[in-house]
């Protein structure tokens, strides 16, 4: 008989303890202000921009290698695809500048640049 009473009591106690714990997780979202949240979003977008710059620089290094193997003297900029990745914040295309010794990829929003030595 005691077991029959004990089980519902334990289940009730577990329910009473679990419900507030799950509610606490929901209310913790309210601890971040909208300004802080926007700041986090902006920082993540800047980091994404820098990662795209790194990726584009890596692709350019591959194109430089291919151009050197062909010995055609082709401009690396001419080998780039028609559409380049864009900055996730400004949606503007990255700026690619080429000199005989260097290629620079820069974010138009000022999030950084990468320079590749030929």
pLDDT in tens, 17-67: 555 555 444 445 568 888 999 999 999 999 999 999 998 888 888 887 777
CA torsion 16→17→18→24, rounded to 10°? 110
Q: Is 9 domain-assigned?
A: no
Q: Is 107 domain-assigned?
A: yes
Number of domains in the chain: 1
pLDDT, tens digit (0-9, with 9 covering 90-100), for 75-95: 777 777 777 778 988 999 899
Q: Is 84 domain-assigned?
A: yes
pLDDT, tens digit (0-9, with 9 covering 90-100), for 37-47: 999 999 999 99
pTM, two decimal places: 0.60
**What's the confidence (pLDDT) of residue 115?**
92
Q: CA-to-CA distance for 40 and 46, rounded, in angstroms?
A: 10
Reported confidence tier of residue 72, pLDDT bands at 50, 70, 90: low
**What's the confidence (pLDDT) of residue 62?**
84
Q: Which domain holds residue 50?
A: 34-117
Q: CA-to-CA distance for 99 and 51, rounded, in angstroms?
A: 23
């Amino acid at each position: 008989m005691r077991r029959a009473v004990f089980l519902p009591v334990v289940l009730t106690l577990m329910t009473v303890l679990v419900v507030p714990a799950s509610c606490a997780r929901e209310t913790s979202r309210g601890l971040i202000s909208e300004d802080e949240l926007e700041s986090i979003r902006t920082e993540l977008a800047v980091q994404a921009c820098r990662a795209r710059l790194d990726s584009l620089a890596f692709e350019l290094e591959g194109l430089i290698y291919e151009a050197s193997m062909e010995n055609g003297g082709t401009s690396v900029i001419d080998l780039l695809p028609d559409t380049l990745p864009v900055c996730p914040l400004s949606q503007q295309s990255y700026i690619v500048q080429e000199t005989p010794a260097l290629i620079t990829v820069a974010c138009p929003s000022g999030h950084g640049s990468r320079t590749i030595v030929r």
